[in-house]
Structure formats: structure tokens, C-alpha cells
Amino acid sequence: QVQLVESGGGLVQAGGSLRLSCAASGRTFSTNAVGWFRQAPGKEREFVFAIAWNTGRTYYADSVKGRFTITRDSAKNTVYLQMNSLKPEDTAVYYCAVLLEAFRWGTQNPSDFGSWGQGTQVTVSS
């Protein structure tokens, strides 16, 4: 099993940037892809971005197009979510998780992901 730990959250003003990290340990060689999700108070968990572990292919939610990017450092077993031009509506707890089945590539359903990290809080002030 893979264990994931998120870090890098914080408080930032609208228009600012943050870089989140998702560090993986354990059976990382079995990882298909890593996804980022977020959950604001009172709302459902929402897909943000995903990256294939071996190929680096990505897909993302329309809400972050042109503002967020995702990368991975295979040597460090870490996935990064670079968030630019942040908006107050980006405020949420951000989680990373592993895609459970490779054939589900492209899914935005949280149920298709597992080994969730504990999350990191991102707060964007207006």
C-alpha cells in the first residue's frame, strides 16, 4: 500500500500562489496515477488535477485551467500542485490520493481513488 502526505498549504491573498506537495512512500511502484482533490466546508470533495506516475500525462478540472499545474519528481516520489492566480473560491482542504485502477484514467470520481492523505488547508483571502 502507498502512504501519502500533503504539505504546503497556508494563507494567501487572492492572486497569490502556493505549491502543494504530496509525498508518497510504501509500494510506490504500484502507483498508476496521483490525483489532487479539494473539499470546502459543506461541499463535496472535488477533483482538481491528476498525473500519471510513469508517463507524466495529466488531466484537470475546468475550474483550474490555466491557473494550476501538476508535476512529479519520481526520484523523490513526490507530486506537486502549483497553484497560481488563486481565488477565494479555491479555499479548501486539499488532498492527494492514488488512482486505484489504471483503466479509470480520466475519472474525476473520488471513489476511484484511495490511500488518501490527511489533507492540507489552503485559505485564500479577498
Q: Which are the contacts of 5, defined by CB distance < 8 A and separation ≥ 6?
A: 22, 23, 25, 117, 118
> Which pLDDT does position 76 carry in this prediction?
93
**pLDDT tens for residues 70-79?**
999 989 999 9
Contacts of 80 (CB under 8 A, 6+ apart): 19, 20, 21, 22, 70, 71, 72, 73
pLDDT at position 29 over 80: no
* Stronger pLDDT, 57 or 26, i.e. the higher one: 57
